DNA sequence: TCTGGGGTCCTAGGACCC
DNA sequence: TCTGGGGTCCTAGGACCC
């Protein structure tokens, strides 16, 4: 492979229509039938079965705009069920880690692997073996691409999905002429080139990955920054992005939601912000971290051009980092009060915690002693909420009426993560299978 | 009526210091 | 009246990813 530098082969394992595949695991009657999964608040379509893709419904499309089509073609609709998807994802990753020593969990539905060039004599065969093993052990169909860099492995996976053949794998090897392959890839389909950059490149006459790798490096850096230049090097076959086996240290943790209906009152925003802070603080403690910076934002609906628009945010630095829910809520509500303006239709609020340090990292305020009772209180609350559900014990600030809560009308059960929602399999005649 | 959420990285520009 | 230059840090905004 003369044009490919580097000693390693990279692979990308990408779950097909992942959220839809997860829902189908427990609804085998939906195989080969059109299915979509909605975003939070049932707002956008974020996963589509192949049948739905053929109807021309695009990724991220607003649900309400396609309701008629969805009804017409009898598409089954699910609200998103992240506990289910997270659990199935873990199973897929476990299978890969049993097969390969070097695995990077890149996202909920993708993993990179890498191994020395030449480890497997027949890469096509190995890709098929990997794919079949994941499918057999988890029920999730995947596509797999191999290439000499991560970016080219991504492109190989793109070819694997594009091919109408059933094997869903693609290996970039000596038989392929890299330039011929890249001539068939639109710049917008390159990992790292988003819509803005793609538009910009096309305006200047660069339409394909092949045209891009032939551009001058200085020009590329000016157009796409150093990150874009790295992408181009990878497209040329020079590895610049390495495999990250350990998940990177978190720099921020946030929670934000759109409301189920417009919100006007400060009191409702306070409940929402307190609720999001509670959730973020729980995530913080689950990762063994404390935060010292808390950022709160509120905004109106920018799609409603006819309405008065307002968005604002405020960042507060705590005198001492904390993971204590009440402390964080107090700071969040102080910021909220400072930015709240009456008279607007608010659509979304959120909080972002940063300045994260390990919980055992002590940087005490000169005059404040730590309160050991607050630590044991939080531990008790987390234990109870893990056992009985996350709403069991909460701060009074989160409210009781909560009419701002987001919608999730079509949610499937937490089949694999909640005892009360386990699927019940009934004995059935051969060749049929039903789930109650 | 109804348009997601959670992240990361890069750069430009201002503040500040010596 | 005339009034430097370089380094660092921080932040906002824009780009990207799934």
A181 lies in a domain?
no
Q: Is residue A377 part of a domain?
A: yes
Q: Is residue A374 part of a domain?
A: yes
Of A40, A33, A119, the closest CA to residue A76 belongs to A33
Our measurement of CA A425 to C1' B8, in angstroms, reads 43
Q: Residues with Cβ < 8 Å from A118, sequence gap 6 or more? A: none
* Per-residue pLDDT at A146: 97
How does pLDDT run across A420-432, given as a tens digit for each residue? 888 877 776 555 4
**Is the minimum distance from the CB of A351 to strand B below 7 Å?**
no
The 10s digit of each residue's pLDDT in A61-81 is 999 999 999 999 999 999 999
The answer on pLDDT for A337 being more than 50 is yes
Distance from residue A168 (CA) to nucleotide B5 (C1'), in Å? 29
State the DSSP code for A411: B
The 10s digit of each residue's pLDDT in A114-133 is 999 999 999 999 999 999 99
Residue A67 in any domain: the answer is: no
Q: For A268-293, give the DSSP string.
A: HHHHHHHHHHHHHHHHHHHTTEEEEE
Does residue A415 form part of some domain?
no
Q: Is the pLDDT of residue A140 over 80?
A: yes
Residue A1 above 50 pLDDT?
Answer: no
Q: Which residue has the higher pLDDT, A383 or A322?
A: A322
Identify the top-confidence range among A1-15, A266-280, A354-368.
A266-280
Closest CA to A435 of A415, A420, A417: A415
Q: Of the given ranges (A5-9, A158-162, A346-350), which has the lowest mean pLDDT?
A: A5-9
Residue A203 domain-assigned (yes or no): no
pLDDT in tens, A203-226: 999 999 999 999 999 999 999 999
Domain span at residue A322 reads 252-398
Give residue numbers, 179 to 198 of A, with CB < 7 Å from strand C.
Answer: 190-198
* Protein residue at shortest CA distance from C1' of C12: A313
Percentage of residues in chain A having pLDDT higher than 90: 74
CATH code for position A393:
3.30.1490.100
Average pLDDT, chain A: 90
In a domain, A273, yes or no: yes
> Residues with Cβ < 8 Å from A172, sequence gap 6 or more?
A4, A145, A146, A147, A148, A152, A153, A155, A156, A178, A181
Chain B nucleotides close to protein (CB under 7 A) are 1-11
Count of domains observed in chain A = 1
In a domain, A350, yes or no: yes
pTM, whole model, 2 decimals?
Answer: 0.91
Tell me the pLDDT tens digit for each residue of A385-405: 777 666 777 777 777 667 777
* Statement: residue A418 has pLDDT above 50: yes
**Nucleotide closest in space to A67 (CA vs C1'):** B2
Which residue from A10, A25, A41 is spatially nearest to A112, judged by alpha carbons? A10
């Amino acid at each position: 492979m003369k044009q490919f530098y580097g000693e390693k082969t990279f692979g990308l394992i990408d779950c097909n229509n992942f959220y839809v595949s997860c829902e189908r695991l427990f609804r085998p009657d939906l195989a080969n039938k059109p299915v979509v999964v909605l975003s939070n608040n049932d707002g956008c379509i974020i996963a589509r079965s192949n049948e739905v893709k053929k109807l021309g419904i695009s990724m991220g499309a607003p649900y309400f705009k396609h309701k008629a089509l969805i009804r017409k073609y009898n598409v089954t609709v699910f609200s998103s069920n992240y506990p289910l998807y997270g659990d199935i994802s873990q199973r897929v990753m476990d299978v890969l880690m049993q097969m390969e020593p070097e695995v990077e969990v890149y996202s909920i539905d993708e993993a990179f692997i890498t191994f020395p060039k030449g480890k497997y004599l027949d890469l096509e065969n190995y890709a098929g073996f990997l794919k079949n093993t994941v499918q057999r052990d988890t029920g999730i169909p995947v596509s797999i691409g191999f290439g000499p860099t991560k970016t080219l492995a991504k492109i190989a996976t793109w070819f694997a999905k594009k091919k109408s053949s059933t094997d869903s794998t693609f290996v970039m090897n000596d038989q392929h002429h890299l330039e011929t392959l890249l001539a068939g890839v639109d710049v917008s389909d390159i990992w790292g080139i988003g819509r803005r950059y793609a538009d910009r490149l096309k305006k200047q006459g660069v339409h394909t990955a092949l045209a891009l790798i032939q551009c001058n490096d200085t020009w590329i850096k000016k157009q796409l920054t150093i990150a874009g230049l790295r992408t181009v090097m990878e497209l040329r076959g020079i590895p610049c992005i390495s495999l990250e086996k350990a998940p990177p240290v978190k720099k921020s943790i946030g929670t934000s939601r759109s409301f189920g209906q417009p919100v006007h009152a400060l009191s409702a925003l306070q409940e929402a912000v307190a609720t999001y802070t509670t959730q973020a603080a729980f995530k913080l403690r689950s990762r063994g971290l404390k935060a010292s910076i808390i950022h709160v934002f509120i905004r109106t609906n920018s799609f409603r051009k006819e309405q008065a628009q307002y968005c604002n945010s405020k960042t507060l630095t705590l005198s001492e980092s904390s993971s204590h829910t009440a402390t964080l809520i107090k700071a969040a509500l102080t910021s909220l009060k400072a930015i709240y303006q009456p008279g607007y239709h608010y659509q979304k609020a959120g909080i972002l915690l940063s300045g994260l340090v390990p919980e055992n990292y002590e940087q005490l305020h000169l005059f404040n002693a730590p309160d050991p009772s607050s630590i044991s209180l939080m531990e008790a609350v987390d234990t109870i909420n893990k056992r009985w559900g996350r709403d069991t014990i909460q701060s009074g600030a989160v409210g009781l009426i909560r009419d701002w809560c987001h919608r999730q009308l079509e949610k499937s059960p937490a089949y694999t993560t909640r005892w009360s929602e386990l699927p019940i399999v009934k004995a059935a005649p051969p060749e049929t299978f039903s789930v109650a």
